[in-house]
Structure 1
Amino acid sequence: MSAGLVVLYAGAGPSDVFVLDFDGVVVDSEPEITASAFEAAALHWPDLFSDSVLDVGNRKAQLREAMRTVRPVLVRGFESMVMLRMLLRDPRCPATRDAILNRWSEELPRSLSYWGESADELTQIFEAVRNDWMNSRTESWMALQVPYDGVTSALAATPFPVFIASSKAAHRVSALSSAVLGLELPPDSPRLFASLLPPEEKKAEALRIIARQQVCASPATRLHFVDDRLDTLLAVRQVPELAARWNLYLADWGYNTAEERAAAAREPGIRLLQLQDFNGMLAPPPRAS
């Protein structure tokens, strides 16, 4: 029996149950998202994203850095293509970065309309590029997904049940769990809740389902939900039955801004969690002497 994601307790049940977001909590997937955005953008907008354009003034490296800065507001993969095009003219422009970080819900539809693009078409292009890369150049694709420090060993050693609740597609979470984390998590695993979009709504629904499972039945069992999106945690906290049962944590090592971390620290019912403390929470409890 694999440790971590498939541990089941007999008898009285576990003292703790964890539900973890995947991207931004378990694995840093930003390098892959950005690399896929470059490939998809070059395919869809070849004149804008040709090598001759990107090689000028180290622009590609500047774009990579800018994409990491704006990653906290990205929800769906295709949005990275839009961000990349917005940043193309001047990757270091503070106004563009601020517009993405602070007004993304307005900037995304505005940009799509101005360019005559559709979210559905860009989604098809982006997902096709990712799937082709994952299937035909698997090793290089996997290499862009980096587990956060200590998380792999913490998950492998934890005695507690762990669920994954992610906006990522199930087949990608499954493949990455096996290749990057060394944990078997089939796409149809009852411990995997995937493609949760919009996350504010669907993750709350997943937590409601998980809380009703036998592994969480004891009132003494502590339930923990760790995510790197403050909006998701705030949405969960607004549901009384979830707020009463779940301990909520914002992963400060994930895709969030300094302003969001400061806001989380002020929010009742949400704890700002550091990576070292997260790994410690997953550790087996000390044995009684």
Structure 2
Amino acid sequence: MGLSVTAVERALFLLLRLRKVRWPSLFDGVDSSLEDWIVDKMHIVRPVVETGYENLLLVRLLLEMRIPSIRKSSVAEGLTIEEILENWFKIKPVIMEEWGENKDALVDLFGKIRDEWMDNDLATWIGANRLYPGVPDALKFASSKVYIVTTKQSRFADALLRELAGVIIPPEKIYGLGTGP
């Protein structure tokens, strides 16, 4: 299937691209040891993420925890990884407001960067993803109607299903981020 990349590494690949677009000045001077620390901590905090754009928030929050001079959130000082794990649903709205961020804008940006990656190197993007074991066969041999419900934007789910599972699901049967009522 190509690259064997974890969800965290995939998110970090996107984040390296995103940070240049969203908050470039905050990441000036970030060295490889700090990037390694962020990667290490992202492996731990990744389970709190419900939607991809939240990875961007977590990376910035981790950065603010380590570099007080760029701190814009009231929660970063003294914050621990355990507190992020326990209270992400409370922390997220606070940092979104304090940073002046908008969920839809971040979702769109996250999608735009994914689109650029897919347009420039589809094979690497596909290789940085995987389906759970057994899913391709379950989709191929399903005897009932198949619907896909995902936190990914529908166009990304469609590409992954085509490339990794070898199936075509009609667009009206894929319910992704931003679709529905």
TM-score normalized by the length of structure 1: 0.49
Q: Aligned ranges for residues 116-131 of structure 1 at < 5 Å? A: 116-131=100-115
Displacement of 1:137: 2.0
Q: Aligned ranges for residues 133-148 of structure 1 at < 5 Å? A: 133-148=117-132
Report which structure shows greater RCO (CA 8 Å, sep ≥6): 1
Secondary structure, counterpart of 2:148 in structure 1 = strand
Displacement of 1:94: 9.6
Q: Aligned ranges for residues 19-34 of structure 1 at < 5 Å? A: 29-34=7-12
Displacement of 1:40: 0.9
Gaps of 5+ in 1: 1-26, 206-289
Q: Aligned ranges for residues 54-93 of structure 1 at < 5 Å? A: 54-55=31-32, 57=33, 59-88=34-63, 89-90=65-66
Secondary structure, counterpart of 2:24 in structure 1 = coil
Q: Equivalents in 1 of 2:61, 2:100: separation in Å?
A: 14
Partner of 2:175: 193
Q: Equivalents in 2 of 1:116, 1:72: separation in Å?
A: 24
Displacement of 1:152: 5.2
Indicate conservation of the 8 Å contact 2:49/2:55, yes or no.
yes
Displacement of 1:62: 2.6
Q: Equivalents in 2 of 1:53, 1:96: separation in Å?
A: 20
Displacement of 1:107: 0.7
Q: Equivalents in 1 of 2:178, 2:52: separation in Å?
A: 13
Displacement of 1:128: 1.5
**Between structures 1 and 2, the one with greater strand share:** 1
Greater mean deviation of Cα atoms: 106-115 or 151-160: 151-160
Secondary structure, counterpart of 1:48 in structure 2 = helix
Indicate conservation of the 8 Å contact 1:73/1:104, yes or no.
yes
Displacement of 1:31: 3.1
Partner of 2:73: none
Q: Equivalents in 1 of 2:88, 2:10: separation in Å?
A: 21
Deviations 1:144-201 (A, max 9, x none): 10234x33564367454443221212211110112122x22245153x332278xxxx
Q: Aligned ranges for residues 88-103 of structure 1 at < 5 Å? A: 88=63, 89-90=65-66, 95-103=79-87
Partner of 2:19: 41
Q: Equivalents in 2 of 1:136, 1:186: separation in Å?
A: 24
Q: Which amino acid aligns with 2:25?
A: D
Q: Equivalents in 2 of 1:43, 1:121: separation in Å?
A: 12
Q: Equivalents in 1 of 2:95, 2:16: separation in Å?
A: 18
Aligned residues between the structures: 166
Query: Given the superposition, is the C-alpha separation of residues 158 and 96 from structure 1 closer, same or farther in structure 2, using an over 3 Å criterion?
Result: farther
Gaps of 5+ in 2: 67-76
Secondary structure, counterpart of 1:102 in structure 2 = helix
Indicate conservation of the 8 Å contact 1:34/1:64, yes or no.
yes
Greater mean deviation of Cα atoms: 151-160 or 100-109: 151-160
**Between structures 1 and 2, the one with greater helix share:** 2
Q: Equivalents in 1 of 2:103, 2:178: separation in Å?
A: 17
Q: Equivalents in 1 of 2:162, 2:9: separation in Å?
A: 19
Partner of 2:69: none
Displacement of 1:64: 2.1
TM-score normalized by the length of structure 2: 0.73
Q: Equivalents in 2 of 1:188, 1:77: separation in Å?
A: 21
Q: Equivalents in 2 of 1:115, 1:180: separation in Å?
A: 37
| Larger-Rg structure | 1
